[in-house]
Structure 1
Amino acid sequence: MSDEASSPDSTPRAVDTPRYLIILSTVLAVALIIAVITAAKITVDRKVYAPMAMGPVDAPEASSQVCADFVDRLPGDLGRFRAVELREPAPSGAAGYRDSSGAELSVRCGVNVPDQYTVLSPVFSAGEVRWTAVSDATPGSDLRTWYAVGGSPAVAVTTSADVGGALGAVGSALSSIYDANSPAKPAPYPLSDAPVAGGSDGSGGETDSPACRKFLDSLPTALGSWRLVHTSTGSGRLSDQAKFGSLPEDVSRSALDKAPSGSATYLADDREPVVIRCGLAIPKSYAPGAQLTQVDDVPWFSDPSLSRGSTMGHWYALGHEQIVGLAMPQSAGDEVIASVTSAISSSLKKTEKQPAPAQQ
């Protein structure tokens, strides 16, 4: 072997990359990744937190100065919800929020409290403000609205998502500027204003008849999710409360003292009540030839004259010796009316006499 072949100088030598170039390329790669992630986040945020559209609602005090002050006091974040702009035409006294999933939350000031807020409605505190909740009765809707009812003006917070700490934050913004001496007045006990057969003052009459007492005794202790918590007769006798289920949270038993004669009250957690009353007169909205819904042997008349914003349906069972009224959420389904129909069939005699329309 020659000396030239064995010489160390003939061995291939690796070329070392300068250290600063390695560092520079790493920094540029990281910067590029950060730029891509940032651009993607900005694009997503622009879509998620885009301006919100809010339609008109019944809010007679929305343009008041106190509502303007309230909206100005609202924080940029309500829990996980972030404030977003409102699309034009933006309503007065309103603010919109979205969370990272795109779920919307609206805040409206100066609204009317709906008539489903009654003496039976659960009321709770958040952010030093008293609230009650109402679910949207539209089929397929999961919207829920919380109304501040402890003062004036009334404020509504609506979302289909978990409201979380948003109510407390809204309440804190509201508590120092609203009039706590002017709380919203709850609507009367369901069916307490219904005309009574044989009575002119909403009490007594047929509600205290033996037939109605028999009917009330035949009612089940539960109607689906609703539990029987109270019954009363025209004589003022109250049923043994010990055999009934406990009241839902935030419902005061003193509210049951306002129950009308001849009635049974069913309550469920986070649901509007079911109230049944026996011995009623035919409602004013009934007329001969009115459309009736037959359930087994009981024809039911649905009173179309619902109050503002109400999600309660008022039904009247005809064709038996006593007219039975049923106030229930429209979302209650067939189970409630089927169970009440069964109690009517088993306790009240049928009659062929058609009810005469009420005097106008």
Structure 2
Amino acid sequence: MSSTAHDPQINRTTIYVSLGLAVLLVLGVLVGARVYFNRVALQPVAMTELPAPDAQTPECAQLIDDLPATLAGLKRAELAEPAPAGAAAWQASSTERITLRCGVDAPAQYTPYASTEDADGTRWLQVNDLTPGSSLATWYTVDRSPILAVTADVTQLADGIPPLSALPTGTLTGPAPQQRPAPLADLAPAGDAGTCDALIAAAPDSIADGYTRVDARSPHTVAWSAPGQDAIVLRCGVAAPENYGPGARLDQVNGIPWFEDVKLANGTTASTWYAMGRDVQVAASLPQVESNEAITNLTNLVAEHTAEQ
């Protein structure tokens, strides 16, 4: 009987010891994880050399000196040697990171149709990384030089808003960069102007998700832009595509064959498509990621306002 009387006390002691060990194990894991992530955050950030012709200017050197110690909650990180000129980074881990480069070239997406934004008096252009699965974006200053580029993961930013206002862009006092030519602006004109007038007038305000119509800069042209993306542009009354010939691949979309000129502009994801077999030649500049939805809507527009040849 005496042995049975002591059983509850023995069981409680075992439970207390087990709980104590479990708590110590959890604390050990948390401390170890904190130490690990702190070490990762303190690791120098490796940044490769990229085209940055103005990186060694006095303006870029001053900007690097004036950068804040923290940005969007991330601490300024040391750069691994050899560190490129005009570069900086902030990080909390190997995946939570913001990088900056001063003195870079203007992106190919900076055209008259670019969708820009203002942050405390500085004009920026967002360019999304279109690598599958990537949520990175880069913002470029487009109202001053040297040009500043800031890259971040938009999913890690509060409300998706980049910390552009915290950057000392006032040290960059050079002229704004030149815009690249508008897509399709270099195509030779041809065809019936009357047919094109009707087609352009009927173009919708939106052509794909996130794309809204903007003022066109070329005759018989309509354009749509979206933040971070290449513009979608349609031009009516152009010469036949030079690269089209026997054996060329055609893609049928709702009864209209399209020829894609796969030569992409340097630094963009856009290619030029031609609607074939119509009474007037129509061309479209389409980003690769938006081709399906946009070309379907453009096909319906072309089919309704041009005739089969």
Q: Same fold (TM over 0.5)?
A: yes
1:150–1:183: 8 Å Cα contact kept in structure 2? Answer: yes
Deviation, structure 1 residue 268: 4.2
Distance, in Å, in 2 between the alignment partners of 1:71 and 1:110 is 11
Distance, in Å, in 2 between the alignment partners of 1:302 and 1:56 is 34
1:222 matched to 2:206? The reply is yes
Deviation, structure 1 residue 166: 2.6
Distance, in Å, in 2 between the alignment partners of 1:37 and 1:191 is 57
For 1:164-203, what aligned pairs fall within 5 Å after superposition?
A: 164=161, 166-170=163-167, 172=168, 174-176=169-171, 178-180=172-174, 182-197=175-190
Distance, in Å, in 1 between the alignment partners of 2:28 and 2:247 is 72
1:116–1:312: 8 Å Cα contact kept in structure 2? Answer: no
Question: Which amino acid is the alignment partner of residue 87 of structure 1?
Answer: A
Q: Deviation per CA, 1:57-110: give whole Å up to 9, x if none.
A: 222222334323322222221131212222344322211211468412110111
Greater Cα shift, 185-194 or 213-222: 213-222
Deviation, structure 1 residue 335: 1.1
In the superposition, the TM-score normalised over structure 2's length comes to 0.78
Deviation, structure 1 residue 127: 4.8
C-alpha RMSD of matched pairs (Å): 2.9
1:105 matched to 2:98? The reply is yes
Instruction: State percent identity of aligned pairs.
Output: 34
What corresponds to 1:357 in structure 2?
none
SS of equivalent residue, structure 1 residue 110: strand
What corresponds to 1:252 in structure 2?
none
1:350 matched to 2:308? The reply is yes
Greater Cα shift, 220-229 or 331-340: 220-229
For 1:321-332, what aligned pairs fall within 5 Å after superposition?
A: 321-332=279-290
Aligned residues: 280
Question: Which amino acid is the alignment partner of residue 318 of structure 1?
Answer: M
Deviation, structure 1 residue 50: 2.5
Cα 1:285/1:112, change in 2 over 3 Å: farther
1:94–1:109: 8 Å Cα contact kept in structure 2? Answer: yes
1:78–1:165: 8 Å Cα contact kept in structure 2? Answer: no
For 1:81-230, what aligned pairs fall within 5 Å after superposition?
A: 81-99=74-92, 102-160=95-153, 161-162=156-157, 164=161, 166-170=163-167, 172=168, 174-176=169-171, 178-180=172-174, 182-197=175-190, 206=191, 209-226=193-210, 229=213
Greater Cα shift, 73-82 or 61-70: 61-70
Kindly name which structure, 1 or 2, has the bigger radius of gyration based on alpha carbons: 1
Cα 1:86/1:286, change in 2 over 3 Å: farther
Question: Which amino acid is the alignment partner of residue 185 of structure 1?
Answer: Q
Deviation, structure 1 residue 226: 4.9
What corresponds to 2:14 in structure 1?
none
Greater Cα shift, 51-60 or 103-112: 51-60
1:78 matched to 2:36? The reply is no
Question: Which amino acid is the alignment partner of residue 173 of structure 2?
Answer: D
Q: Deviation per CA, 1:134-190: give whole Å up to 9, x if none.
A: 1122232211110011211101001113264631222x1x312x224x111222333
Question: Which amino acid is the alignment partner of residue 179 of structure 2?
Answer: P
Distance, in Å, in 2 between the alignment partners of 1:305 and 1:36 is 53
